[in-house]
Amino acid sequence: MLVIGNFGLSYDQSKAQMALWAIMAAPLLMSNDLRRMRPEFKQILQNRAIIAVNQDPLGIMGRKIRVEDGVETWIRPVTPVVGVSGYSYAVVFFNRNIMGTTREHITQLRTLGLFHPLGYRVTDLFENRFSGVYLPDDYLAVRVNPAGGVTMVKAEAVAPAPPVRRPFSAPPPRFSQRQELPVAGIAMTGRNAQLTVIPTLAPQRTVNGIGVPFDYIVGTEGLRRRLRVHALRSTPSPRSIHRPPLST
């Protein structure tokens, strides 16, 4: 049961309850009236980013992974997931020290189990502030108030960039010229047949001063080892196609 906004919890303690309930996927049941609470507490309860962590579709409960200098670290795998195991994570740093001032807590992402090679986009969920992209070997520094203060961040796994598709700026050139080229290793004995041949090392024809490789449509009527080739269109990646001899 959330007691945020009721008498007895400080502002920092209210943030701590909201953060820990979200990390542990606990039900967010309020025991108060939003119409009668101070705006800063109402803002905690209506924080959409933290509610999204609590309601994450993966449904994986968070856990405490370590305590260092009185600061607990809680972590929960959340969406989006990149690839098979590139989880994003919600992380809570909870300061149990009752003495002292605000503590700067520094941690390496790798030590938290964050190994995604493309890194993580880190955002402070209470402040709604983007901190930057961090790689697994980078260090994250957060400031946490004493006596139950928290800092909650989401480390969203970076997805690989999609491939860039570049459309042709002009249609492929067409040619009416015919030329004779030998095609080694193919015995052409059939009549009234047509065969597509794409050589491994495509010959080059100059178009506006630029060498261009071609697909070839090869007519076989009356031809055996020397073929009349009609170049129809350019191709960016020639491949070798092996065909058996044609029968008559």
Is the per-residue pLDDT at 71 higher than 60?
yes
Residues contacting residue 111 through CB under 8 Å, at least 6 positions apart: none
Distance of alpha carbon 76 from alpha carbon 25, whole angstroms: 9
Average pLDDT over residues 44-73: 97
What is the band of 104 on the pLDDT scale with cuts at 50, 70, 90?
Answer: very high
- H helix intervals, the chain: 11-23, 39-45, 48-54
Per-residue DSSP letters for 145-209? -TTTEEEEEEEEEPPPPPPPP---SSPPP----EEEEE-TT-----SS-EEEE--SS--EEEETT
Give the Cα separation of 177 and 103 in Å (integer): 79
The three-class DSSP label of residue 17 is helix
Contact (Cβ atoms closer than 8 angstroms) between residue 56 and residue 48: no
Which pLDDT score is estimated for 209?
A: 54
Tokens standing for residue 30: 């309020």
Residue 162 is predicted with a pLDDT of: 81
Cβ-proximal residues to 39 (8 Å cutoff; 6+ apart), any chain: none
Q: What does the DSSP 8-state code read for residue 62?
A: P
Ordered structural domains, the chain, with CATH: 11-157 (2.60.40.1180), 178-234 (no CATH)
- The string of pLDDT tens digits covering residues 119-145 is 999 999 999 999 999 999 999 999 999
Q: Out of 28-42, 166-180, 202-216, 228-242, which region has the weakest mean confidence (pLDDT)?
A: 228-242
Model confidence, pTM: 0.66
